[in-house]
Amino acid sequence: MDRFFTRFATIVAGVSGQPLTFTLAVGIIALWAVTGPIFQWSNTWQLVVNTATTIITFLMVFLIQNSQNRDAAAMQAKLDEILRAIGPAREQFIGIEHLTDREIEKIRADLEQEVGRDEGKNAAVHRSVLGLLKRR
């Protein structure tokens, strides 16, 4: 079941982000709007689109969230491997995605403060980044 859902969620998330899918959705809504006069703008006519869009949105939330969770976990695993493989990197950072928002913000603030202490190195990096941005 797990493998089936993963495959299904990946396919649906991939297809739902395509221009053709968007165009198809716009076409369906346009067709629904054109049929309004035929059904005399009835409550049933309105209920059809409201129900359909609500159900699709509800299901898509779970499928897309599954894909995003999987992508984020894969990215974290890759970053953890890079941290593990690089000698001077701090291995304590492996798994920090499991900390609370407040704990992560504290680590981020401490790192920014630490980088700010080494002004010469920080200024050189800052200049090189600005140079790269100007090239665009």
What is this structure's pTM? 0.62
Q: Is the pLDDT of residue 71 over 60?
A: yes
Summarize pLDDT for 34-60 with one digit per residue, the tens: 999 999 999 999 999 999 999 999 999
Between CA 103 and CA 88 the distance in angstroms is 23
Summarize pLDDT for 83-93 with one digit per residue, the tens: 888 878 788 88
DSSP 53-117: HHHHHHHHHHHHHHHHHHHHHHHHHHHHHHHHHSTTS-GGGTTGGGS-HHHHHHHHHHHHHHHHH
